[in-house]
Amino acid sequence: MESLRTSPRVILLLLLCAAPTTPGAPAGDKPKVILVSMDGFRHDYLSMAGGTPNFDRMLREGVTMPWIRNTFTTLTFPCHFTMVTGLFEESHGIVANSMYDQRMDRTSFGMPTTDEDWWTGHDTIWTSAQKAGLKAGVYFWVGSASKIQGVRPDRWFPYDNKVPFEERVDTLVKWMSQDDLDLGLLYFNEPDHTAHVAGPRGADTMAQVRRMDGVLGRLMDKLDETNLLDRVNLIVTSDHGMADVDSDNQVRSAGTQDEILVTQAVVNALKDVAHMKVMLKEEIPERFHYRDSPRVQPVLLLADEGWGISENATWRRQNLPRFRGDHGYDNILNSMKPIFVARGPAFKQNTEVEPMDTVDIYPLMCHLLNIEPAPNNGSLTNAARLLRVPPTPASTPAPTTPEPRSEPTSPRPGCLTDWSTRVEVCSFLLAALFLMTRFINYSHIL
């Protein structure tokens, strides 16, 4: 009888049992994950554009849903940070593309992404992966150029929208193959950039949708060339959709800036203005998961779909005529819903499932990478219907409520706050105006 110590058959059996595998992946190959965001890619763009063979392939070989439920505020920075943290905006603290922080007494314009103070220390998918001993590369993502918990991804670049899309794809695949990264993230600013100008139904926007289909095809081809296509669990999604807007549909403000006291009478007067909703912080709907952040200020103005809020007549004349699409509206609106499609060894094929939430993407990716998720608002149970092999009950923890990373603070007593500069920072046509600095310029509402 052969001893246990010297039996090659026993040794081989032990090695096979110990090797981590993903259903459908070649034996012995550990799975990899790539998350791709195509900014402003509405859930119904594929049916509108036509001529998208690579997305069609993803749908045949993978799993999709009619849309994925994104978070309010339906803005780029908050929604992208939700995807990689599994947290609602009130939990991760990135509540807008530009915002005022009372504790720091600072206003962020365009979110200086290398400024560590704005990122509240919550785990992202890349910090979770690195803590587990995996390697991550991020080719542009909200927060990736800043240290979070003192670290950056293993591979990253500061954001530069001039980098060709093809170069981004080729570099990420090189990282995944030659540097043997486990996790890759990839961001594109289209079709959002074009749709702001052309509108969500414009011919130029549809051309960009077809262009992004070509980018997806290049990604899959490059993965195939490096023998990664059948090892990578590829997720393609977006931060928000896009609504049609008319530059004439503007709630207009005028007058000089001055500090005024917040009274119920002031709020009531604003509530009489048509085409927008005015809410005190405590009145913000619970379903927004938004009001409990200290960076959300006492009053919120939210424009009706197709309407915006502009700062002054000069700004309107210079900027509004060239914008036909916008976002930042209520996330329940059909126009705000993004796309979701996934392909890879862990996912079902040629299947459509019920929608899940963007907070569920983070625990899903943690499961695919076989790592422990940080506290988050998502649920692997919601994402389980995407998977060929459902996770065991032990691997589907209930959603948790993360601890806040900064002490709640209050604006100066009696002061109404305004964020009129979002007009310049976001899309030049406000879908939602957050009252967020410390002054108000509503001496007249026209």
Domain membership of residue 190 (yes or no) is yes
* Residue 38 pLDDT greater than 90, yes or no: yes
What confidence tier does 318 reach under pLDDT thresholds 50, 70, 90?
A: low
The pLDDT of residue 91 is 96
Q: In this predicted model, what pLDDT tens digit does every residue of 225-272 receive, in sequence order?
A: 999 999 999 999 999 999 999 866 766 553 333 334 455 777 888 888
The pLDDT of residue 352 is 99
Identify whether residues 167 and 115 lie together within a single domain.
yes
The pLDDT of residue 299 is 87
* Residue 25 pLDDT greater than 70, yes or no: no
Identify whether residues 184 and 296 lie together within a single domain.
no
Higher pLDDT among residues 432 and 142, named by residue: 142
Identify whether residues 167 and 153 lie together within a single domain.
yes
Domain membership of residue 9 (yes or no) is no
Q: What is the mean pLDDT of residues 64-68?
A: 99
The pLDDT of residue 272 is 83
**Order of strands across the sheet with 351-352?**
155-156, 136-139, 183-188, 32-38, 232-237, 340-343, 62-64, 351-352
Angle formed at CA 242 by CA 240 and CA 244, multiple of 5 degrees: 160
Higher pLDDT among residues 5 and 253, named by residue: 253
Domain membership of residue 123 (yes or no) is yes
Identify whether residues 340 and 312 lie together within a single domain.
no
Domain membership of residue 287 (yes or no) is yes
User: For residue 75, what are the domain limits?
Assistant: 23-243+331-395
Identify whether residues 48 and 105 lie together within a single domain.
yes
Handedness of CA 338, 341, 342, 347 (dihedral sign): positive
Q: What is the mean pLDDT of residues 373-397?
A: 89
CATH number of the domain at 356, please.
3.40.720.10
Candidate from 111-125, 243-257, 296-310, 410-424 with smallest mean pLDDT:
410-424
Residue among 44, 49, 50, 70 nearest 327 (CA) = 70
Average pLDDT in the chain:
81
* Residue 434 pLDDT greater than 90, yes or no: no
Domain membership of residue 377 (yes or no) is yes
The pLDDT of residue 414 is 29
Angle formed at CA 219 by CA 158 and CA 340, multiple of 5 degrees: 85
Distance CA 349, CA 180 (A): 26
| Coil vs helix vs strand at 237 | strand
Higher pLDDT among residues 27 and 38, named by residue: 38
Q: What is the mean pLDDT of residues 207-235?
A: 98
* Residue 177 pLDDT greater than 60, yes or no: yes
Active site residue 22: no
The pLDDT of residue 430 is 31
Percent pLDDT > 70 in the chain is: 74
Identify whether residues 162 and 267 lie together within a single domain.
no
Q: What is the mean pLDDT of residues 326-352?
A: 98
Q: What is the mean pLDDT of residues 23-40?
A: 77
Candidate from 246-255, 362-371, 395-404, 407-416 with smallest mean pLDDT:
407-416
Identify whether residues 256 and 179 lie together within a single domain.
no
Identify whether residues 232 and 157 lie together within a single domain.
yes
Candidate from 8-22, 116-130, 347-361 with smallest mean pLDDT:
8-22
Candidate from 29-33, 196-200, 342-346, 366-370 with smallest mean pLDDT:
29-33
Identify whether residues 75 and 180 lie together within a single domain.
yes
Looking at residue 69, what DSSP letter applies? B
Alpha helices in 86-164 (DSSP H): 89-92, 125-131
The pLDDT of residue 428 is 26
Tokens of 327: 């976002």
Q: What is the mean pLDDT of residues 28-32?
A: 76
Contacts of 176 (CB under 8 A, 6+ apart): 32, 34, 137, 184, 223, 226, 228, 232
Domain membership of residue 15 (yes or no) is no
The pLDDT of residue 407 is 39
Identify whether residues 151 and 215 lie together within a single domain.
yes
What confidence tier does 118 reach under pLDDT thresholds 50, 70, 90?
A: confident
The pLDDT of residue 446 is 25
- The number of residues in the chain equals 446
Answer for the pair 160, 144: CB distance below 8 angstroms, yes or no.
no
Identify whether residues 165 and 286 lie together within a single domain.
no
The pLDDT of residue 311 is 61
Identify whether residues 160 and 43 lie together within a single domain.
yes
Q: In this predicted model, what pLDDT tens digit does every residue of 290-299 receive, in sequence order?
A: 999 999 988 8
What is the domain count for the chain? 2
Among 76, 85, 120, 237, the one annotated catalytic? 76
Domain membership of residue 150 (yes or no) is yes
Domain membership of residue 18 (yes or no) is no
Candidate from 335-344, 368-377, 426-435 with smallest mean pLDDT:
426-435
CATH number of the domain at 290, please.
3.30.1360
pTM of the model: 0.82
Q: What is the mean pLDDT of residues 10-33?
A: 48
